[in-house]
Amino acid sequence: MSQPRVLITGGSRGIGRAIALRFAREGAQIVIASRTSSELDSVVEEIEAAGGKGLAAQMNVRDHGSIEAAVYRAVEDFDGEMDVLINNAGIFGLETFENVNLTSWQRFLDVNLTGPFLVTLEALAPLKESERGHIFNIASVAAKQGFERCTAYGASKAGLKGFSDSLREDLRADGVRVTTVYPGQIDTSIWDDIPGDWERSKMGRPEDVAEAVWAAYQGDGDQADVDVTSQGPA
């Protein structure tokens, strides 16, 4: 298998960074995309140190223009083809239903659902050019199960599950595989501002998700669903 060319949204921290470093160990060419350039630059250094080739592209998944520009940059770096797209950028938060307002509801849908839709739309042509095109959508156990104070997050991730499952059928004939990933609680900075007594040392590690994604990429067949730990919410 030749070295994969991989675009990872939200590749600057947490799960996205761990996936970037896992692919880097295999010598992959990786473009990481998120809003904060200082974090992106330091992960590019880590990618290069791990044996991969890294490039940072600033992207806000709430801004279609910035998605277009970042995907264009990645595809230029990849010589017109893309093997793997990881739709990972996302936000999390807990709020009782009565305290969810339209602004916060819309923010969850924009980042966690419309973001992956737009990035996929922009990356589809180069993914189809690849002989091994593969899209990973990082959903959550909250896509399949209800949790308290999770209406907005749960709706966004259940929407991503529906998008991902139907996209798989639409792209089957093109040979592009689509995998939905369902992490349970994973110890990342996403938990830093969540009130509550969370036992972070008992959560899964970002590297667990990265290993599962790498295994699904390498595996034959559909690789439709990947579960990583079952503890929720998140």
Ligand X SMILES: NC(=O)c1ccc[n+]([C@@H]2O[C@H](COP(=O)([O-])OP(=O)(O)OC[C@H]3O[C@@H](n4cnc5c(N)ncnc54)[C@H](OP(=O)(O)O)[C@@H]3O)[C@@H](O)[C@H]2O)c1
Question: What mask of x and - would describe binding to ligand X in positions 73 to 112, judged by CB under 6 A?
Answer: ---------------xxxxx------------------x-
Q: Is 217 a catalytic residue?
A: no
Minimum gap (Å) between residue 40 Cβ and ligand X: 8
62/128 with CB nearer ligand X:
62
Is 123:85 a contact under the CB 8 Å cutoff? yes
**DSSP secondary structure of 95-126:** --GGG--HHHHHHHHIIIIIHHHHHHHHHHHH
- Considering only residues 186, 212, 213, 226, which one is a binding residue for ligand X as defined by CB under 6 A? 186
Q: Does 116 bind ligand X (CB under 6 A)?
A: no
- For residue 218, what is the DSSP state? H
Q: Which two tokens stand for residue 186?
A: 């994973």
Q: Does 180 bind ligand X (CB under 6 A)?
A: no
Minimum gap (Å) between residue 187 Cβ and ligand X: 7
Is 144:191 a contact under the CB 8 Å cutoff? no
Q: Does 234 bind ligand X (CB under 6 A)?
A: yes
Q: Does 22 bind ligand X (CB under 6 A)?
A: no
Is 18:210 a contact under the CB 8 Å cutoff? yes
Q: Does 15 bind ligand X (CB under 6 A)?
A: yes
Question: In terms of C-beta density within 10 A (0-12 exposed, 13-18 middle, 19 or more buried), how is residue 201 classed?
Answer: exposed
Please state, in angstroms and rounded to a whole number, the distance separating the CA atoms of residues 226 and 54.
Answer: 26
Please list the residues that pair with 54 across neighbouring strands: 30
Minimum gap (Å) between residue 146 Cβ and ligand X: 15
Interface with ligand X in residues 27-56 (CB under 6 A): 34-36, 39
- Contact residues for ligand X (CB under 6 A)? 9-10, 12-16, 34-36, 39, 59-62, 88-92, 111, 138, 140, 183, 185-186, 188-190, 234
List the catalytic residues: 153
